[in-house]
Amino acid sequence: MMSGKALFFRAKTRAEMSQSRRAGKRSAMQTAHDRFKLVRIFFVLGIAALLVFLTGLIITLGPLEISVADAYSALLARFLPDHFQSEALTSRVVWNIRFPRILGGMMAGFGLGICGCVMQAVLKNPLASPFTLGITAGAQFGISMAAVIGFSVLGGPYFIIGNAFLCALLCSFFIIGLAAIKGATSENLVLAGIAVNYFFSAISQLLKYFASDEQLRLMTNWGMGDLAAFSWANSQLLLAVFVICVPLLMSKCWDLNIMTAGDDTAKSIGVNAENTRLFIMATSSLLVAVIVCFMGIIAFVGLVAPHMARMVIGGDHRFLIPASGVLGALVLMSADAVGMNLMAPTIIPTGIMTSIVGVPFFMYLMMKGKRKEFWT
């Protein structure tokens, strides 16, 4: 028989071996986590670099032949005139005609991408987006009301834009208000969004029925979405809203990570799921309202971009939110470039091109298996 001392040392040795194995497993898990974190960082940096390259490439598309090097030189000459030179004609075409449209697509795609990402997170619904929740339907109603009835909250050059912005924002707060009455659960927000979408779409169709040919043409063109409406004159307002809203949405990335596990889990950790949901919806609605009031209805970017990013880097919103924004910018810029050059000189509206790309992806999501697959 073994002595008590020998048994003690054997038990101690087994405990040390077990502790060593656990430490080895933790070390392996930490290594795998760090490696995947680097993959996420490189993915975001890679698509950002692709966005920069695509900007120079799209600038070259058009009647005036411009090389990629000339495109970058014309852009950099604006900021570093002592180091870069550009011809006067090339500089005017790039800076005044082609680059504003690209910048508008970049900002609109980025904003719609991150708004779709956070809306899907707080609603735990893979089909949530500014388009499917009815925010764009509210903006369409504002345009219809200005075109047919002649009523607008603002005058002058903001006759139509003011209505689109106000109605989109009111539509968003109406959805939030309806949900707040019954509790700001994800199901209530989705149902309220569907109800508001159908209501404002019906009213817009009714106004189209009584519209003249000119009024109908205005409503139809705006409803298709067009980046040509973006200019340096309205870029400052859109940039100011971006500077305010994007950091606010990014500040909730940890809360969004926790909320994907469920409201009860979030509350047990100390995250107020209802307040966070209302804050996210209000902030993202403000950003979407500004985008649609200047560029019209652009569908499916807010739906497609977050899923593309989630399929590659998973559901960590520290990386998913910026990745969704950059991919949204890539999708929208690419769709606009195809629409401008596919049947040149005829320009296909941007909203039509994004819908052509988004509808098959939307159907794919509807036929996908269990909804939980999107949050793993």
Chain segment 110-127, per-residue pLDDT in tens: 999 999 999 888 887 777
Tally of CB atoms within 10 A around 334: 17
- The span from the CA of 304 to the CA of 335, in Å, is 13
pLDDT at position 248: 92
Most confident of 4-13, 304-313, 343-352: 304-313
| 278-320 tens-digit pLDDT | 888 888 888 888 888 788 888 788 888 898 888 888 888 888 9
| 222-251 tens-digit pLDDT | 777 788 777 787 788 888 888 999 999 999
User: What is the mean predicted confidence (pLDDT) over 53-62?
Assistant: 86
Amino acid at 293: C
pLDDT at position 40: 85
- What secondary structure letter does DSSP report for 368? S
pLDDT at position 17: 54
Closest by CA to 178, choosing from 71, 281, 40, is 281
User: What is the mean predicted confidence (pLDDT) over 93-122?
Assistant: 88
pLDDT at 62 over 80: no
Report the half-sphere exposure of 201 (CA within 13 A, side-chain side).
14
pLDDT at position 229: 74
pLDDT at position 155: 65
Amino acid at 367: M
- Better-predicted residue by pLDDT, 125 or 6: 125
pLDDT more than 90, % of the chain: 8
| 152-197 tens-digit pLDDT | 767 666 667 777 778 877 887 777 777 667 665 667 777 777 888 8
Q: What is the mean pLDDT of the chain?
A: 79
pLDDT at 326 over 90: yes
Label residue 371 by pLDDT band (50, 70, 90). very low
pLDDT at 29 over 70: no
To the question of pTM greater than 0.85 for the whole model, the response is no
- The span from the CA of 43 to the CA of 29, in Å, is 21
Most confident of 82-86, 115-119, 141-145, 311-315: 115-119
The CATH number of the domain covering residues in 102-375: 1.10.3470.10
Label residue 8 by pLDDT band (50, 70, 90). very low
Residues 6+ apart with CB under 8 A from 120: 126, 128, 129, 306, 374
pLDDT at position 7: 45
Amino acid at 26: R
| Per-domain residue ranges of the chain | 102-375
User: What is the mean predicted confidence (pLDDT) over 354-365?
Assistant: 76
* Structure-token pair, residue 82: 């002592």
pLDDT at 373 over 50: no
pLDDT more than 70, % of the chain: 83
Exposure of 96 by Cβ count < 10 A (0-12 exposed, 13-18 middle, 19+ buried)? exposed
User: What is the mean predicted confidence (pLDDT) over 6-33?
Assistant: 54
